[in-house]
């Protein structure tokens, strides 16, 4: 058996649940790290993100925070919509992870 074939047929299927868990933990950590960023930068207009063609950009969590404190119902609705987008993103990632790990478990039986 060639080396690449052994990696594809043995190593990757065995490591797939661990890789999936690592990816989910990395995404969860990135989402959690936005809270300190929110509390320190507060959408500073001097910070310009990578690929910003039209000036500074806010993160989704910052938009949720800013719109939730607004007295206008339309902006509060946008804050709720942003929160729903975050929840749906986590849900989709969880379902994909379960599908990947479940498919691996069924295949190994």
> Residue 69 is encoded by which pair of tokens?
């404190």
Q: What does pLDDT average to in each consecutive run of 10 residues of the chain (109 residues)?
A: 87 85 81 64 60 65 85 94 88 83 68
Return the pLDDT at 38.
60
Return the pLDDT at 90.
81
Contacts of 101-107 with CB under 8 Å at 24 or more apart are 101/16, 101/17, 101/20, 104/13, 104/16, 104/17, 107/13
Return the pLDDT at 37.
64
Return the pLDDT at 73.
94
SS3 at position 52: coil
Q: Of 90, 33, 88, which Cα lies nearest the Cα of 62?
A: 33
**Domain parsing of the chain, residue ranges:** 16-108
């Amino acid at each position: 058996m060639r080396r690449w074939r052994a990696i594809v047929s043995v190593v990757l299927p065995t490591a797939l649940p661990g890789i999936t868990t690592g990816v989910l933990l990395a995404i969860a950590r990135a989402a959690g790290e936005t809270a300190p960023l929110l509390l320190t930068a507060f959408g500073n207009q001097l910070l310009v993100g990578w690929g910003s063609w039209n000036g500074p950009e806010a993160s989704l969590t910052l938009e949720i925070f800013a719109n939730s404190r607004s007295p206008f119902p339309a902006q509060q609705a946008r804050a709720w919509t942003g929160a729903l987008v975050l929840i749906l993103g986590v849900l989709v990632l969880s379902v994909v992870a379960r599908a990947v790990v479940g498919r691996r478990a069924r295949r190994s039986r």
